[in-house]
Amino acid sequence: MGPDPAGRHPRCVGSPPPPALGYRGSVGAVKLIGVTITITSASVDDLGRLMHAEDAAAQTCLAFQRLEAELDRRGLRLDALRRIELCTVADAASVELVDLVRERLGERLRGRGPTVRTGTATADRLRLPGMLVELRAEVTVAD
């Protein structure tokens, strides 16, 4: 389902992130090959509290770091990314944030792996007051 006429994406407004299917990362878990999963990342600490309230650039950086940590926890590499969507509230500068994510990806990947597509979606609000950015990454579990 795509954005509404105002450009807001329904997945960004008050709905929980989609579950990461196929790979739990624990001992004895089954790792499915060729499955695309979605990992949602935000600027929160380990207890789920918002960090860097009202600072979109800082939230983007921390969300990207948490995405990298989650990939590592699952035994996946950054080059498994296929798409990153930045979900922002309407007043966040999404073009600059996309550039920031592309810059971070370029630093980490250094030309290795496929090109990661980036996109944006806007929402009236995100999960927590003061949250301006949330990342949704599509990752393909290869082998």
Residue 9 lies in a domain: no
Q: How many folded domains does the chain comprise?
A: 1
Please report the pLDDT score of residue 21 as a whole number: 38
Please report the pLDDT score of residue 99 as a whole number: 86
Residue 24 lies in a domain: no
Please report the pLDDT score of residue 15 as a whole number: 40
CATH number reported for the structural domain that contains residue 103 in this entry = 3.30.1330.40
pLDDT in tens, 11-21: 444 444 444 43
Q: Model-level pTM?
A: 0.70
Please report the pLDDT score of residue 105 as a whole number: 82
**Which structural domain range is residue 37 located in?**
33-141
pLDDT in tens, 38-71: 999 999 988 989 999 989 999 999 999 999 999 9
Task: Show the DSSP H helices in 22-142 as ranges.
Answer: 56-73, 94-109
